[in-house]
Structure 1
Amino acid sequence: MARSPSDARETQPEPQAPPRRRRAPAMDKGERRRSILDAALAEFSAHGFAGARLDDVARRAGVAKGTLYLYFSDKEALFRGLVEENLSPVLVDAGGMVALFPGTTRELLDLLIELLAQRVLETPAQALVRLMIAEGPRFPELAAYYHREVVVRGLALIRAIVSRGIARGEIDSDIPARFPQLVIAPAIVAVVWNSMFGAFDPLDVRQFLAAHRDMILRGLGWRET
């Protein structure tokens, strides 16, 4: 017996609704803050501090501009957040090494060179140093903040390393304690060099800093204890 069209319709399976697309898990506040900071660092690196726009930071971070303002009130706050996120922890870790490391001053300097290269000079965070060199004079409040939070603390670490070396009988000059800028200068040179010439004549940051370490130690009358 032939089936009527109505019978065929009754036996056909009902079409199923397409599966719902799962939403990506929402970021927590810490992840969203980190995303905004990463976007700000990329914008500052590409356009400079003066040229960067909060609209572009928000767009790159994938958030509404209003959301950005929940975390950072302006570009200056973003810059301070980047320093706190990328540079301040390096200084804290370096301070712990200087205070607790049991080895020689040369070995300590090797560890600090590795830390500086791995966490700053060979990462996008080096753009913060470059920004201060290029634009610090135009933004004196930011320069004062950077000097207080990064430069002063970094120079204090160098003085502590020199005092430690003298106390251990490994060096016999306090010149770097009086002028710690002599020790940190190659890190700044490395940032400037690679930002200007890195595309066609890159500087090996680690070897450059190690060569400067050897030159400084020889000039200080280095003695292995």
Structure 2
Amino acid sequence: MSPRKNAPSVAPPAELPAPGAPARKAPAPRQRRKEARPQELLAAALELFVEKGFAATRSEEVAQRAGVSKGTLYLYYPSKEELFKAMVRESLSSRIAEASVLISQYEGATTELLHRVMHLWWTEVGLSPAGGITKIMMAEARNFPELASFFHEEVIAPTQALLAQVIQRGIDRGEFRPVSPMMTVQVLIGPMLHLVLFQHSFGACAHLPCENPADVLALEIDLLLHGLCPRPAAG
């Protein structure tokens, strides 16, 4: 029997992977987009919350800036409050965790550690949009007590505990004189809050500059350390 004309050609078998080799397949563009959406939403939320405040920002605006629908936003974050909490964890809680690792592993002098922690906080948070979150909470905490409690537990209390740990380290090593670590933390945080609030309010206006924040921070630490260092014995 003669072969049929126009018979469909048979494709050669696909090359099989080597035995034991894992099958790896690059995610499709749509899948990559889906995986990136939470970060895109959090970035958009940070921008809008810092620009407009928590109360004035609408979920629809966050979705629009992130390039997704409002329904997509609610798939990841069911409410504006949950979106704000996720943004705080992404922008601030992660920085606190990094500082905790630095403090636990540092082997040098406590004065140097204090300098590093304070300057790291300023460059990573104070100078970034994340620093504006503090201004939001200072302005709107009274109207949103549940968010204020969350912010205290997630950011304020851990930050104070870390700084108190540094002060206690210096006391234990004889580098600092005995003082109340938590009260000393309040002395540390006060000027820092001033710098952050100025940076994200008056500092945003080009015609209202302030002193170089890095220099102010260095002077604050220098003044504090002279008060912390052991006093020479009388006579």
Q: TM-score, normalized by length of structure 2?
A: 0.80
User: Is residue 205 of structure 1 aligned with residue 217 of structure 2?
Assistant: no
Which residue of the partner structure matches residue 59 of structure 1?
64
- Residue 172 of structure 1 aligns to a residue whose secondary structure is coil
> CA separation in 1, counterparts of 2:174 and 2:40?
47
The number of equivalent residue pairs is 200
Which of the residues 116, 122, 141 maps onto 2:146?
Answer: 141
Q: Name whichever of 37-46 and 173-182 sits farther off.
A: 173-182
1:6 is matched with which residue?
A: none
Change in 2 beyond 3 A, CA 1:63/1:222: farther
What residue is the counterpart of 2:185 in the other structure?
180
RMSD between aligned residues: 1.8
Question: 2:116 pairs with 111, 114, 118, which one?
Answer: 111
Correspondence for 1:25 among 12, 23, 29: 29
**Which ranges of structure 1 fall in alignment gaps of 5 or more residues?**
1-23
Provide the identity percentage.
38
For the residues of structure 2 that align with 1:193 and 1:53, how far apart are their CA atoms?
26
Per-residue displacement from partner, 1:192-219 (whole Å, max 9, x unpaired)? 1123321221343322222111111111
2:195 aligns with one of 174, 190, 194: 190
Runs of 4+ that moved beyond 4 A: none
**2:164 aligned with 1:156, yes or no?**
no
- Out of 201, 205, 222, the position equivalent to 1:214 is 222
Unmatched segments (≥5 aa) in structure 2: 1-27
Could you tell me the TM-score, scaled by structure 1's length?
Answer: 0.83
In structure 1, C-alpha distance between the alignment counterparts of 2:158 and 2:194, rounded to whole Å: 19
Distance across 2 between alignment mates of 1:222 and 1:147 = 33
Q: Is 1:125 matched with 2:133?
A: no
Structure 2: how far apart are the matches of 1:203 and 1:125? 21
Tell which deviates more after alignment, 188-197 or 54-63: 188-197
Q: What amino acid does structure 2 have at the position aligned with 1:156? A: A
Cα distance in 1 for residues equivalent to 2:230 and 2:118: 18
Once structures 1 and 2 are overlaid, which stretch shifts more, 65-74 or 174-183?
Answer: 174-183
For residue 44 of structure 1, what is the aligned residue in structure 2? 49
Match of 1:102 among 80, 98, 107: 107
The alpha-carbon deviation at position 58 of structure 1 amounts to 0.5
Distance 1:94 1:39 in 2: 25
**What is the CA-CA distance between 1:36 and the residue it aligns to?**
0.5
